[in-house]
């Protein structure tokens, strides 16, 4: 029984609840989301002169934790989330009795609400992944969700303790496995058993202890070999000794930290695939196009940094003499009608790397009108299975074998990663970037109405399959997995939902599984660095961008002439998506005379004219921005740059704004992570970012940046104004926040941190797979069945439609 509901009913607040229920019944909406509930309750409290503060009463607390209320007849269904990652559902009848509802009851009720409930026609398919997680380790405390690998290391070391003999045997077998292009690594046939290994380790330790610390491996490699050890332990006597000592400790007294350190040193990853099929994927001229944003930036930077890290690891492991060449391939789509990009090129080297490539594989030509052109991410579902088959062949050719790790990006990339990993028997990692399900309100409940435009039935199915199939998932923030105390996470939204007339998901994902790990991205430090590092800045770029930002008169590219270019700039840069809400920022600026007196607003937003855009949302936003400028008479106070900046320019543009002691505002209605926030902060700009989504974890409010609520324009304007006036009277305050922002990025958001952690995860999950003999086959078979029975027929239908486009 819900403690919160019960507490209200047992107190004299029972009558308040009764009155609230009658107000709810007057409300037109049958389905109230948290914001509706809070607003309604606030009005209710004002009307009845009550305190709406969460802690003020049981009822306020209940309301605070209620995520949704559904009204049916005279009953109310309360969906209460009093703890992160768990929900309880209760039916409250008009006579105030309470009944717990099952997930099935809830999903049926939701179907009834949209008139899509047909009990006489038999049950709907129920998707339940719950039983497959019954035999795998599960995290208990929600605050440890997202720290999967730490949990797994603790779990594995306690297993090692519990049955040392069996586990040592597995460890021995694991160490025998590793090879690079047919060359044996770590141990050779001279070591034939676990017992033998223990003895040899001690002998090797004794031998190496007598060598000078910095003795290079080459000088004693043959001695090691005769003892049964091959390269892979280290590049110097000190490193080999350290690694062998760690293994020795691990065998005698396993501890989580020792296990992690040891596994992280095992040379088992040389070839990696990063899958990112949709959109334009390239190094020039692709950003800011539909479907091409931060994901491309992220994957390119990740590829470069993974290569560097793999090279460093291989050298440290002592594989220098073997001429090891790690390879990273970004697998994307080949688009023949390339529109000036290099997307029609099969292979493109990633700048600044020795062996990282973009490999583009075309979609099969079902209808050249479609498949030779860019296809929106919402439309590409029919092409992915055959794409995976073709890509497998190409990857094997490029790697001369299988890769060691496959990383998927976004729903489509993750599905392809699953198909490839399954066929090639390779570890699969998923990265969502953003999950569409929570981005669009009621996207599952009304999927049928939205299907023609968005095809969510395939996307959500693909998400379910890929996230369950993945060996591990990395997210950029904790809240991407399970949200915050008052909002549900993106993965959490897959836990239980209805797709009316298609299926019910009663348990879509185990949020407490150790597969989830928070590993945020970094920022490319060669483009984005503090504005104070003058020696690294190019003066001609600075001058050109300074002019472009403040004074250049070029109506083809820039709208607006500043009356007083010396005012403090408020700056933002994003695609003109509705959700990025640049128009909200313009409106906030428009509503505040005070801000306008002190500041100019400068926006970099890709396009200036409706005719230049092929995207409906973008066109709407362009029209809206002009309307706002006109309505609030922002002429002379705003500059709108309709340009797509190269990386070099975007780095420098932030710095030029910082030279002018400007501020960066990221006003998105929701932002999964927000790379521009890292970029602005590292260049030294005080940053104000949306409180909805990832920025909540990047920024520490009032310490190294500020949160804004972009739906509250007055409050946002006054936060900006307060800061600006404070800086006017005390310029050191700007410097202080600027410095702390820079520090924040360097300590928590670098690619070095990201790749070290990612590779350590890949090794640990690879080890875990091997050692635990985790029985995943039944889960994978279930996933395959869903793929064939639900996903494929729908994809086939869409393909038929595409044939006539």
In the bound state with ligand LCN, the residue whose beta carbon lies nearer, of 234 and 674, is: 674
SS3 353: coil
Which structure tokens are listed for 386? 């055959």
Q: Which is nearer to ligand UDP, 403 or 695 (CB)?
A: 695
Minimum distance between the CB of residue 741 and ligand LCN, rounded to whole angstroms?
17
- Closest contact distance (angstroms) between CB of 471 and ligand UDP is 25
Nearest residue to ligand LCN on Cβ basis: 294
Residue with smaller CB distance to ligand LCN, 404 or 671 = 671
Taking CB within 5 to 8 Å according to partner kind, which of ligand UDP, ligand LCN, none is near residue 41? none
Structure tokens at 524: 């490319």
d(CA 750, CA 757) in angstroms, rounded, equals 11
- Judged by CB under 6 A, which of 671, 708, 744, 764 binds ligand LCN? 671
Minimum CB–partner distance for residue 480 and ligand LCN (Å): 9
CA pseudo-torsion sign 750, 756, 762, 768: negative
Q: Tokens 């993750």 belong to which residue?
A: 414
Compute φ and ψ for 48, nearest 5 degrees: -100, 15
518 binds ligand LCN (CB under 6 A): no
Q: What is the spatial distance between Cα 279 and Cα 281, in angstroms, rounded to a whole number?
A: 6
What Cα–Cα distance (Å) separates residue 769 from each residue in 513, 515, 692? 14, 12, 36
Which residues lie near ligand UDP (CB under 6 A)?
Answer: 287-288, 293-295, 297, 573, 575, 604, 606, 644-645, 647, 650, 673-676, 679
* HSE, side-chain direction, 13 A CA sphere, residue 111: 21
The number of angstroms, rounded, from the C-alpha of 213 to the middle of its chain's C-alpha atoms is 42
Cβ proximity of 786 and 502 under 8 Å: no
Residue among 371 and 650 whose Cβ is closer to ligand UDP = 650
**675 is a contact residue toward ligand LCN (CB under 6 A):** yes
Q: By CB under 6 A, how many residues form the interface with ligand LCN?
A: 13
Angle between helices 647-659 and 539-550 (to 10 degrees): 70
What SS3 class is residue 517? Answer: strand
Measured from the CB atom, is 417 or 506 closer to ligand LCN?
417
> Whole-number minimum distance, CB 705 to ligand LCN, in Å?
16
Vertex 597: Cα angle to 592 and 601 (nearest 5): 70
CA nearest neighbour of 135 among 783, 785, 773: 773
Q: Which CB, 603 or 678, lies closer to ligand LCN?
A: 678
233 counts as binding ligand LCN under rule CB under 6 A: no
Q: Which does 301 bind (CB under 5 to 8 A by kind): ligand UDP, ligand LCN, none?
A: none
Which pair of tokens denotes residue 471? 């060996």
Cα separation of 701 and 708, whole Å?
A: 9
560 contact choice in ligand UDP, ligand LCN, none (CB below 5 to 8 Å, kind-dependent) = none
Of 60 and 305, CB closest to ligand LCN: 305
- Residue 651 binds which of ligand LCN, ligand UDP, none (CB < 5-8 A, kind-dependent): none
Sheet holding 126-128, edge to edge: 126-128, 503-507, 497-499
Handedness of CA 530, 531, 536, 540 (dihedral sign): positive
Residue from 298, 383, 494, 734 in contact with ligand LCN (CB under 6 A):
298
In this structure, the strands spanning 503-507 and 497-499 are antiparallel
Q: How far is the CB of 677 from ligand LCN (least distance, A)?
A: 8
Question: Which two tokens mark 657?
Answer: 């704004």
Q: Determine if 522 is a binding residue for ligand LCN (CB under 6 A).
A: no
Q: Which of residues 681-700 bind ligand LCN (CB under 6 A)?
A: 694
* 575 binding partner (options ligand LCN, ligand UDP, none; Cβ < 5 to 8 Å by kind): ligand UDP
391 forms part of the interface with ligand LCN (CB under 6 A): no
CA dist., res. 1 & res. 14, Å (int): 16
Q: Residue 644 binds which entry of ligand UDP, ligand LCN, none, with Cβ cut-offs from 5 to 8 Å by kind?
A: ligand UDP
Report the partner that residue 604 touches, choosing among ligand UDP, ligand LCN, none (CB closer than 5 to 8 A by kind). ligand UDP
Three-class secondary structure assignment of 499-518: ECCCEEEEECCCCCCCCEEE
Q: How far is the CB of 121 from ligand UDP (least distance, A)?
A: 41
Nearer to ligand LCN, 267 or 294 (CB): 294
Region near ligand LCN per CB under 6 A, out of 324-332, 333-341, 673-681, 699-707: 673-681
Query: Token pair of 491, please?
Result: 């993965």
Strand partners, 349: 357
Taking the complex as a whole, the smallest distance from the CB of residue 470 to ligand UDP amounts, in Å, to: 21
Report the C-alpha gap between 550 and 422 in whole angstroms.
54
Of positions 146, 254, 279, 294, contacts ligand LCN by CB under 6 A: 294
Should residue 674 be labelled a site residue for ligand LCN when binding is judged by CB under 6 A?
yes
Report what 515 binds from ligand LCN, ligand UDP, none; CB cut-off 5-8 Å by kind: none
Provide, rounded to whole angstroms, the least separation between the CB of residue 125 and ligand UDP.
Answer: 34
**Cα 439 from chain centre:** 13
Dig out the tokens for 753 from the structure: 């941190």
Of 171 and 745, nearer to ligand LCN (C-beta) is 745
Spell out, one character per residue from 431 to 450, where the chain touches ligand LCN: x when CB under 6 A holds, - when not.
Answer: --xx----------------
Options 57, 66, 271, 295; binder of ligand LCN; rule CB under 6 A: 295
How far apart, in whole angstroms, are the C-alpha atoms of residue 372 and residue 771? 45
Which parts of this chain interact with ligand LCN (CB under 6 A)?
Answer: 294-295, 298, 433-434, 476, 521, 671-675, 694
């Amino acid at each position: 029984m819900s403690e919160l509901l019960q507490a209200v009913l047992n107190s004299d607040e029972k009558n308040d609840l009764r009155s609230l229920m009658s107000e709810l019944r007057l409300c037109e909406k049958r389905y109230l989301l948290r914001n509706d509930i809070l607003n309604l309750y606030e009005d209710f409290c004002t009307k009845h002169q009550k305190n709406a503060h969460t802690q003020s009463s049981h009822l306020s607390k209940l309301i605070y934790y209620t995520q949704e209320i559904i009204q049916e007849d005279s009953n109310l269904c309360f969906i209460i989330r009093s703890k992160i990652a768990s929900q309880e559902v209760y039916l409250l009848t008009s006579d105030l009795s309470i009944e717990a509802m099952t997930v099935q009851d809830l999903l049926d009720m939701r179907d009834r609400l949209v008139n899509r409930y047909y009990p006489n026609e038999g049950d709907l398919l129920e998707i339940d992944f719950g039983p497959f997680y019954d035999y795998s380790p599960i995290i208990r405390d929600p605050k440890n969700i997202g720290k999967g690998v730490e949990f797994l290391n603790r779990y594995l070391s306690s297993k090692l303790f519990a049955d040392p003999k069996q586990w040592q045997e597995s460890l021995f077998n694991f160490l025998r496995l590793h090879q690079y292009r047919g060359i044996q690594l770590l141990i050779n046939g001279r070591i034939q058993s676990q017992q033998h290994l223990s003895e040899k380790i001690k002998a090797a330790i004794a031998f190496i202890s007598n060598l000078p610390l910095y003795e290079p491996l080459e000088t004693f490699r043959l001695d090691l070999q005769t003892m049964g050890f091959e390269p892979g332990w280290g590049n110097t006597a000190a490193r080999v000794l350290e690694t062998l000592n760690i293994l020795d400790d691990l065998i005698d007294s396993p501890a989580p930290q020792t296990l992690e350190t040891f596994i992280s040193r095992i040379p088992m990853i040389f070839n990696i695939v990063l899958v990112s099929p949709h959109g334009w994927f390239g190094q020039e001229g692709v950003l800011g196009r539909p479907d091409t944003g931060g994901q491309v930036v992220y994957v390119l930077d990740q590829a470069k940094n993974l290569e560097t890290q793999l090279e460093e690891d291989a050298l440290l492991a002592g594989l220098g003499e073997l001429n090891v060449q790690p390879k990273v391939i970004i697998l994307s789509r080949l688009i023949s009608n390339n529109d000036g990009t290099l997307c029609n090129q099969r292979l493109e080297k990633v700048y600044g790397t020795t062996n990282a490539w973009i490999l583009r594989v075309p979609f099969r030509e079902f209808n050249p009108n479609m498949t030779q052109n860019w296809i929106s991410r919402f439309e590409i579902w029919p092409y992915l299975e055959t794409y995976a088959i073709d890509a497998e062949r190409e990857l094997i050719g490029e790697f001369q074998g299988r890769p060691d790790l496959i990383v998927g990006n976004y729903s489509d990339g993750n599905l392809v990663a699953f198909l490839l990993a399954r066929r090639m028997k390779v570890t699969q990692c998923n990265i969502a970037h953003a999950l569409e399900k929570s981005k669009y309100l009621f996207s599952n409940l009304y999927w049928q109405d939205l299907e023609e435009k968005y095809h969510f039935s395939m996307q959500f199915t693909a998400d379910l399959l890929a996230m369950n199939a993945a060996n591990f998932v990395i997210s950029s923030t904790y809240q991407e997995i399970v949200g915050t105390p008052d909002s549900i996470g993106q993965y959490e939204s897959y836990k239980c939902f209805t797709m009316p007339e298609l299926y019910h998901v009663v348990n879509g994902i185990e949020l407490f599984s150790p597969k989830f790990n928070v590993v945020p991205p970094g920022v490319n430090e060669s483009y984005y660095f503090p504005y104070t590092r003058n020696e690294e800045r190019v003066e001609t770029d600075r001058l050109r961008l300074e002019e472009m930002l403040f004074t250049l008169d070029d109506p083809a590219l820039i709208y607006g002439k500043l009356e007083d270019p010396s005012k403090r700039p408020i700056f933002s840069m994003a695609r003109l998506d509705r959700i990025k809400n640049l128009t909200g920022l313009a409106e906030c600026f428009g509503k505040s005379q005070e801000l306008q007196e002190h500041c100019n607003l400068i926006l970099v937003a890709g396009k200036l004219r409706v005719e230049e855009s092929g995207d409906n949302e973008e066109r709407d936003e362009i029209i809206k921005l002009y309307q706002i400028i006109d309505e609030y008479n922002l002429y002379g106070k705003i500059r709108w740059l309709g340009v797509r900046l190269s990386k070099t320019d975007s780095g420098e543009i932030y710095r030029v704004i910082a030279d002018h002691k400007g501020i960066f505002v990221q006003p998105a209605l929701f932002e999964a992570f927000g790379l521009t926030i890292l970029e602005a902060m590292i260049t030294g700009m005080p940053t104000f970012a949306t409180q909805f989504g990832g920025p909540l974890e990047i920024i520490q409010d009032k310490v190294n940046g500020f949160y804004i609520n972009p739906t509250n324009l007055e409050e946002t304007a006054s936060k900006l104004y307060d800061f600006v006036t404070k800086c006017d009277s005390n310029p050191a305050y700007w410097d202080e926040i600027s410095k702390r922002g820079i520090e924040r990025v360097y300590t928590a958001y670098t690619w070095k941190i990201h790749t070290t952690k990612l590779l350590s995860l890949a090794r640990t999950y690879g080890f875990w797979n091997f050692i635990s003999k985790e029985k995943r086959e039944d889960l994978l078979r279930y996933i395959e069945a869903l793929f064939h029975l639900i996903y494929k027929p729908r994809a086939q239908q869409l393909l038929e439609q595409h044939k006539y486009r």
